[in-house]
Structure 1
């Protein structure tokens, strides 16, 4: 056979080999593209999931952390009412600032009473209705200071209206814009207190209570109530009370919706007996007087 014929016979095999090699290269290229596509798709999904998680985290943090300064006159998370029913003035704290605990004067004979209470809590209402009237003249005369801490613990107990949170926000609005109306406004929320489990008072009714308390800046307070301006602060302050510690006291933290401290000692007596609470206050006053009174000198021969 000639050399020309041998060359012609080998061409079909070479063509088939070249075709197989081309097909292999195409498969390899396609597989690489597919792997890149899957990697990009997986990366896109991961990035998308991470973005969603980041958004959710921001929303949660924003919901928990205050985004506005706290109310004025509540630097301790409470309103200190003293002589003449006047409120101790304090500056508004920044959103991330820690509260500044009020410190009673150890040389004064004034009894320090602190009340942590939820406006929907029935037991809180029992205590305040029983004792605020007898405390009022003592506060006016400067014998007693009362520090009110509105907390929102029963927020989920009001048929979805979040009354505890709204009422505490309204109290913070009053403290911020017209603090000297706070005593009467606070008392009004307990005098005609809505029942636990019910919807509570509407915002419009809260505004009417503000006006009835003699507040002067009702426009600012009404806007503050409508905006829920201090709701995030109320939530954070309530969490602080529940997690503790409770400053200047023998109590580590709140364990229910009412905590009453007299010179740092918890009151555990009857919530509907004014005499029982008065006796506890007098005992605390006597203890304070005994511990701070100047000893009588012993006569010399």
Structure 2
């Protein structure tokens, strides 16, 4: 009588060897099946990735080969002209420029009673932000009172200074979107862009944040402004108007072209003073208007003809 154990005979060495071989064969077959499945998955992933990359390339090509659309309305001079009416800032309405159209220079008030302030700004430019912080409210008062008009040209010369997000270009496009759809809100939107100006070299504000600022500025037709910002509708126009500003000529001015931002002109004369002293800029505005008045008077008053001596 045996205690414990099994009545089955122990497998021989050959049987154990054959069993091990069979087990190894089964493992090899299962590994081959896994390898085939993995290969198919990898191939499928590569195909999907290739399709995705191809779609991206096609999208980029289509975007870059599409003809440029019209520019924004109310910016026929490449800038928007704002003036004061009954204490309210309103924009001069103009038709949109077609892609091949030349900008139409603004006819400025040459009576000497009004200061014509023209600014070329980049919304990422820290010096533009400095100038706005110093003089923005004073310029608002001048425009609202009718003592000045303001023409703002948003340009994008710092497009490559925002960690690849092209903030300068996108912000100028957003300004054009507001000019196109809600021109009387442009002054407030321009001011709020500088109040929330990101640092140069940062990623800048997102499109959603630009849309939010448009809402805070009280733009009308907000849904259309948001669509315009998201689609970058006026990207090509911003690039073209920037090239025109940098290439010149600059109408109604004593400079051939824009060489940096901010470029500020008052009655055609370029301001080169302090960006942090509001009194210096105010004095420049007064002097430029006064000189224009003197020039106008000189042109209007004929030189007396000497009376011949008998």
Q: TM-score, normalised by structure 2?
A: 0.74
1: distance between equivalents of 2:296 and 2:254?
Answer: 19
Contact 1:66–1:236 (Cα < 8 Å) also in 2: no
Gaps of 5+ in 1: 1-58
Corresponding residue for residue 135 of structure 1: 139
Contact 1:119–1:125 (Cα < 8 Å) also in 2: yes
2: distance between equivalents of 1:137 and 1:268?
Answer: 22
Question: Cα–Cα, structure 1 residues 222 and 261, in superposed 2: closer, same or farther, change >3 Å?
Answer: same
Which digits, 9 at most, give the CA deviation of each residue in 1:3-48, with x for residues without a partner? xxxxxxxxxxxxxxxxxxxxxxxxxxxxxxxxxxxxxxxxxxxxxx
Corresponding residue for residue 78 of structure 1: 79
Which digits, 9 at most, give the CA deviation of each residue in 1:139-182, with x for residues without a partner? 01111001000000000000000000000000000000000110
Corresponding residue for residue 120 of structure 2: 116
Which digits, 9 at most, give the CA deviation of each residue in 1:103-154, with x for residues without a partner? 2032351110100010000001100111110111110111100100000000
Shift of 1:195: 0.3
More helix per residue: 1 or 2?
A: 1
2: distance between equivalents of 1:111 and 1:63?
Answer: 41
Q: Are 1:224 and 2:225 an aligned pair?
A: no
Q: Are 1:213 and 2:217 an aligned pair?
A: yes
Corresponding residue for residue 177 of structure 2: 173
CA RMSD of aligned residues (A): 2.4
Gaps of 5+ in 2: 1-60, 305-310
Corresponding residue for residue 237 of structure 2: 233
Residue 132 of structure 2 aligns to a residue whose secondary structure is helix
Q: How does 1:120-199 map to 2 (within 5 A)?
A: 120-199=124-203
Shift of 1:74: 0.3
Corresponding residue for residue 107 of structure 2: 103
Contact 2:112–2:291 (Cα < 8 Å) also in 1: no
2: distance between equivalents of 1:267 and 1:130?
Answer: 14
Q: TM-score, normalised by structure 1?
A: 0.76
Contact 2:110–2:293 (Cα < 8 Å) also in 1: no
Residue 139 of structure 1 aligns to a residue whose secondary structure is helix
1: distance between equivalents of 2:178 and 2:186?
Answer: 6
Residue 160 of structure 2 aligns to a residue whose secondary structure is helix
Corresponding residue for residue 15 of structure 2: none
